[in-house]
Chains A and B, each alone.
With several copies, the nearest count.
Chain A
Amino acid sequence: MKNYKTIILSNQEISPGYYRMRILAPEYNKLAKPGQFVMFRVQRSLPPLLRRPFGIFCTGYAAPDCDGMPEKEFIEIIYKVVGSGTEIMQELHQGDRVELLGPLGRGFDLGDPEEEKILVGGGIGLVPLYMLAERMVANSKVRLLMGGRTRDDIITVTEFERLGVETYVSTEDGSLGEEGLVTQVLERKLAKYPKASVYACGPMPMIDAVQKICATRNTPLQVSLEALMACGVGACLGCVVKGAGHTDENPQYLCTCKQGPVFLAEQLDWSRLEKQQGNCGGCS
C-alpha cells in the first residue's frame, strides 16, 4: 500500500469512450494481486475533490528512458468516461503528474487449480479479471464470458486470447458475438461444465443475475463490487455493503474498499444488496 506522486506513461482510447492508461508504479508487480484497485487522484487542483477508484488491469515493466536506468514498473487501468473525473482523465497525457494510492482491497481467491474457472465480465467489469486470468491459466482451464451493450463495450479480447483464455462474446444488440445477455451464456456453460467456479465483475444487475444462477447450482462464486468511495482505506465507512448476517436489529456492514472489493458470494446479503454503483454525477 503506497501513496505515490507519479506520472502517466500513456493514455489511449481503445474503444469509443474507453481509455487505457499506463502509470509509473514502482513495486506494483510484486504488490498487486488480481482484483485489487487503486485510488487515482486526477489532478492536484480541484475538482474533482475525491480520488476515483479503478481496478488494476495489469502490471508490467517498460524499458527505461536511458540505458543504465532501472526498468519502469507500471500498472495499467482501463476506464470508461462517465462523469466529471473521467472526463478530465481522458485529457491527460504522457508525463502529466497524478497520484496513486494502492494497491488496495482484498483481491480474488485463486481457488483450487484443479477446478475449471469461468470468468464473467460485463463491460468495464472485465478489468480486474485480466490479472486473475493471468495467474490462473498456467494451472487451470479458464473460460471468459464477456458481455456488453454493443460491440464498443467489448474490450481487450485480444489480450485475454493471448493468455490462452477461451473467450465468448455476447452483446445485447448482437453487434458482436452472440446476441443477448452474458448470463444466458453463463447458464449454458455451467450446464456443460457444472464443476466450474465463477468469478464475476460488472454492473449490479448482471452481478445479481449471476448470483442467482450460481446459487441455484451451488456454484462457488466470487464477485467484485463497486461502491462510492471517499478514502479507499476503510476510514470513512462510505463504501459499505450489507453482509450475509445483516438484520435490521443486528446490522452488519462490510467495507467494499477493505473487506472487498472481491467478496465470496456467501459473505453478502443478496436480498438487500443495493445498487451502489449509481454514480454521484453533477459534481463539477
Chain B
Amino acid sequence: MSELRGTAVKLAHPKLAVEVAGLKFKNPVMPASGTFGYGEEYAPYLDLNKLGAIVTKGLSLNPKAGNATPRICETVSGMLNAIGLQNIGIDAFIEHKIPFLAQYNSPVIVNFFGNTLEEYVEVATRLEDVPGVAGLEMNISCPNVKHGGIVFGTEASAAHEVVSQVRKKTQKPLIVKLTPNVTDIRVTAKAVEDAGADAISLINTLTGMAVDVKTRKPRLANTIGGLSGPAIRPIAVRLVHQVVQAVEVPVIGIGGISRAIDALEFLIVGAKAVQVGTANFVDPNVMETIIDGLEEFCQNEGIEDINELIGTLEV
C-alpha cells in the first residue's frame, strides 16, 4: 500500500494553480495584509516568486502613524495587535515599493482602507493606472481605528455603499475583506457581492483584549486589539464555510493558518485561496512549507489538480 503510494500513485506534480476574480495564482497561498510588510521585509527568507500572490500592508491616502505602544501582546496560541494601520501612504508606496515588487512575477494585491468613503474611492482611483498592481483588497474591517472601516464592515448598507463607489472607479479585480465581528456575516458578504466585489476575503482579526493583572492596565495602549493566530482558526473556518454558501464570488480564507493541514480546511470548505498572517512572524518561511505541504497532500491523496479539492466538504 505505502509502496504503491510512494511510486505508482504518487503524482509527479499536482497542479496547484487557482484563479480568483481573474487573477491567476501559481498556488492558493499568499500572505495576509499587515503581516508581510511591503514584501521586501521577507524577501531574504523566502522566494517571493513562489507565492500565489503578494498582499501588502494596508495603505491609506495619507501616511498614517498608527497607535501608541504597546501595540502587540501574545495570548494563548494567538496574539493581539493594535498597530493602528501605520503605513507610508499610497503615493510613497507607488513610488518606493512598487518597483521592488515589480521584480517578482507573483501578482501584487494592494490592501487599502480609508477613513471616509471619499478616501476609499480616492485610493482606488490612484491605484487604477499603476502597472504592477494586479488587484485590490479593500479592508472594510479593521477593528483598531475608529474610522478605519469598522462602520463600513459591520453595517451591510454602509459596506454596500463604499464597495459600490470604489467599484465605479476601478477595473482591477476587487477583493473585499470582511470583519468577523458581526452577527451574521452572510449579510455583509451578500451586500459586498451585490455591490460588485469580485471576491471576498475573510477573516480579519476578532476584537479582543488582555489585562496585566499587576498593573491593572490593558496590555495594549489602545485597550482593544485584534486577535489572530491559531486560536481563531475554528471561528474563521466556520465563517468562511458560511460565506461560501451565501455568495457566488470566490472566497479567500484567512485565520490561524500555519500548516498545510490548516490551509486544507479552508480549501475543503470552499475557499479558492488562503492567506497566511501571524504564522509569518513565527516562521518567515512558513508559506513555502505550506505550499510544499499542499503539493504533498495532493500527491498522497491522488489529487491531480487542487481545484478538485476545493469545496468538497461532505456535510
Contact = CB atoms under 8 A, between A and B. Distances in A.
Interface in B224-243: 229-230
Interface in A18-51: 41, 46-51
A237 B281 contact: no
B73 interface: yes
A235 B35 contact: yes
A45 to B, nearest CB: 10
Contact of A49 (B37, B215, B229): B229
B116 to A, nearest CB: 19
A164 interface: no
Interface of A: 1, 3, 41, 46-51, 99, 101, 227-241, 251-253, 258, 274, 276, 278, 280-284
Interface string B276-292: 00101111110000000
20 contacts: A49-B77, A49-B79, A49-B230, A49-B282, A50-B282, A233-B42, A235-B35, A235-B37, A236-B34, A236-B83, A237-B71, A238-B71, A240-B66, A240-B71, A241-B69, A253-B86, A280-B210, A281-B212, A282-B213, A282-B261
B36 interface: yes
B78 to A, nearest CB: 7
**Among A51, A229, A239, A278, which residue has the most Cβ atoms of chain B within 10 A?**
A278
A3 B36 CA distance: 16
A237 B35 CA distance: 9
Main secondary structure of the interface of B (DSSP, over half): loop
Given A46-B76, A235-B41, A51 B68 contact: no
A50 B70 contact: no
A236 B281 contact: yes
Contacts, number: 122
Given A3-B45, A49-B278, A251-B65, 13 more contacts: A1-B45, A47-B74, A47-B77, A227-B69, A228-B69, A228-B73, A229-B72, A230-B278, A239-B72, A240-B69, A280-B210, A281-B214, A283-B73
A240 B86 contact: yes
A3 B69 contact: no
A255 to B, nearest CB: 10
Chain A binding surface SS class: loop
A57 to B, nearest CB: 23
B41 A231 contact: yes
A234 to B, nearest CB: 5
B81 interface: yes
Contacts of B131: none
Contacts of A232: 281
B245 interface: no
Given A3-B285, A240-B71, A276-B70, A49 B78 contact: yes
A267 B59 CA distance: 26
B75 interface: yes
Contacts of B77: 46-47, 49
A235 to B, nearest CB: 4
B219 interface: yes
Contacts of A281: 212, 214
Contacts of B281: 50-51, 230-232, 235-236
A252 B86 CA distance: 10
Contacts of A237: 57, 66, 71, 83, 86
Contact of A253 (B34, B65, B214, B285): B65
Contacts of B44: 1
Contacts of A274: 68-70, 221
Contacts of B72: 228-230, 236, 238-239, 280
